[in-house]
Amino acid sequence: MYRPTWAEIDLDALVSNLRYAEQSVHPKKIIPVIKADAYGHGAIEVMKHLEKKGINLFAVSLLEEALALREVSDTSDILMMGPLLSDQFEICQKHRIQFTVYDETIAKEVLTYPKPLAFHLKVDTGMHRYGLEDEDMIISWMKDIHQSPHDLVGIYTHFATANSQDQLFHEQVSKMEALIKKLPYLPRVVHVSNSSASLRYESHITYTTHTRLGISLYGLSLDQDQLGLTPVMKLKSKVVEIKRLKAGETVGYGGSYRAYEDEEWIAILPIGYADGWIRRNKTGKVEINGELYPMVGIICMDACFVRVDQSVRVGDTVTLFGGKISLDDVAKRLSTISYEVVCGMSKRIPRIYQREE
Ligand SMILES: Cc1ncc(COP(=O)(O)O)c(C=O)c1O
């Protein structure tokens, strides 16, 4: 690491969030959702650490993501939740990737595939993204699968409104329950809840064995009341240059910030929009030596500017989020959700893993 800009990933916080969620879902088990490089936290490190803590089933979205995990783990089960094509059955079979049967075409195609495959069936109970809807079709397909060499490991659905738990959420819970009662047999893994539903509702659901935990594993939540979670990622940089401006002088592209007094001090940080520190962050503040200072000017590809005072020195550490400014503050500033902020931290930012246990 040459450039002093990095993301700290606190693996102890990750485990503490896992344990916190486990209390809510007990005795059911958690499937960590580590797609999108574990929401920007680093899927391989997250997986390896959680394997040591007893987890052996992980969920991702893409086949590429699943194969990258398989390269580092021989033993864990890997569920791929995104879509696939039938010409990818072979690679799933070879690398023991449990894929998702999410529509009627794939459901029919697995039946004609000669070698044994392992998969989960996804049911669409109201999200209307991926999943089979027709109950009669599901039941007769499951009977056919039972006679085939294949292994229907799991069945699942996904909630559209888990964090508001409105009418649609309750309809989805009931629809899945009604279907489960009609199935000719139960696969060994049944999972419906994401983070919000795991933490707030799973204890009311009787028919599941697992839950899928994504955002809350990383210490984040759309719910205001999840105070037991600890954010896992902190974004840090260092002041690499300080400019002294006179009144009227401007900073950066477009000269959009103009000093309004003599002796203004502008700190330069080596982080910009190519790192995921997008231009709309320009209205925010950052933390240096426990104080908050405003960003000024336009954020460049590799750098940004902060108006500081004379106490700030080259080499001082800057916390962009994960200290006095939370990741949720950044998400709010950008009119988005924490998911998008963490996933948007680019590969240029090295992840530094911290653990005591
Ligand atoms: C199918 C599925 N399950 C689980 C999750 C995890 O959701 P969350 O991060 O809200 O826990 C996602 C995330 O988008 C998903 O697409």
For residue 309, tell me if it sits in a domain: yes
What's the rounded mean pLDDT across residues 309-333? 97
Q: Of 241, 332, 264, 324, give the one whose Cα is nearest residue 290.
A: 324
Q: Around Cβ 13, how many Cβ atoms within 10 Å? A: 20
CB distance 155 to 123 below 8 Å: yes
Atom of ligand 1 nearest to the CA of 122: 1
194-208: pLDDT as tens digits: 999 999 999 999 999
User: Tell me, what's the pLDDT at 336?
Assistant: 97
Site to probe by mutation for ligand 1, drawn from 17, 57, 158 as the one with most ligand atoms within 8 Å of Cβ, is: 158
For residue 81, tell me if it sits in a domain: yes
3 state SS for 128-189: CCCCECCHHHHHHHHHHHHCCCCEEEEEECCCCCCCCCCHHHHHHHHHHHHHHHHCCCCCCE
260-269: pLDDT as tens digits: 999 999 999 9
Query: Ligand 1 atom 8: the closest Cα is on which residue?
Result: 214
Same domain assignment for residues 48 and 109: yes
Mean pLDDT, all residues of the chain: 97
User: Tell me, what's the pLDDT at 174?
Assistant: 97
User: Tell me, what's the pLDDT at 225?
Assistant: 80
From residue 18, alpha-carbon distances to 31, 78, 83 in Å are 10, 18, 27
For residue 228, tell me if it sits in a domain: no
Same domain assignment for residues 185 and 277: no
Same domain assignment for residues 312 and 171: no
Site to probe by mutation for ligand 1, drawn from 123, 124, 212, 229 as the one with most ligand atoms within 8 Å of Cβ, is: 212
User: Tell me, what's the pLDDT at 356?
Assistant: 87
Atom of ligand 1 nearest to the CA of 213: 11
pLDDT at 333 over 80: yes
pLDDT at 32 over 80: yes
Quote the percentage of the chain above a pLDDT of 70.
Answer: 100
Q: Which residues are catalytic?
A: 35, 253
Enclosing domain of residue 304: 233-354
Same domain assignment for residues 207 and 254: no
What's the rounded mean pLDDT across residues 325-340? 97
- 259 or 1: which leads in pLDDT: 259
pLDDT at 357 over 80: no
208-247: pLDDT as tens digits: 999 999 999 999 999 888 889 999 999 999 999 999 999 9
For residue 227, tell me if it sits in a domain: no
What's the rounded mean pLDDT across residues 64-88? 97
Same domain assignment for residues 208 and 248: no
User: Tell me, what's the pLDDT at 226?
Assistant: 82
Residue with tokens 């449990």: 98
Find out whether the beta carbon of 238 lies less than 6 Å from any atom of ligand 1. no
111-120: pLDDT as tens digits: 999 999 999 9
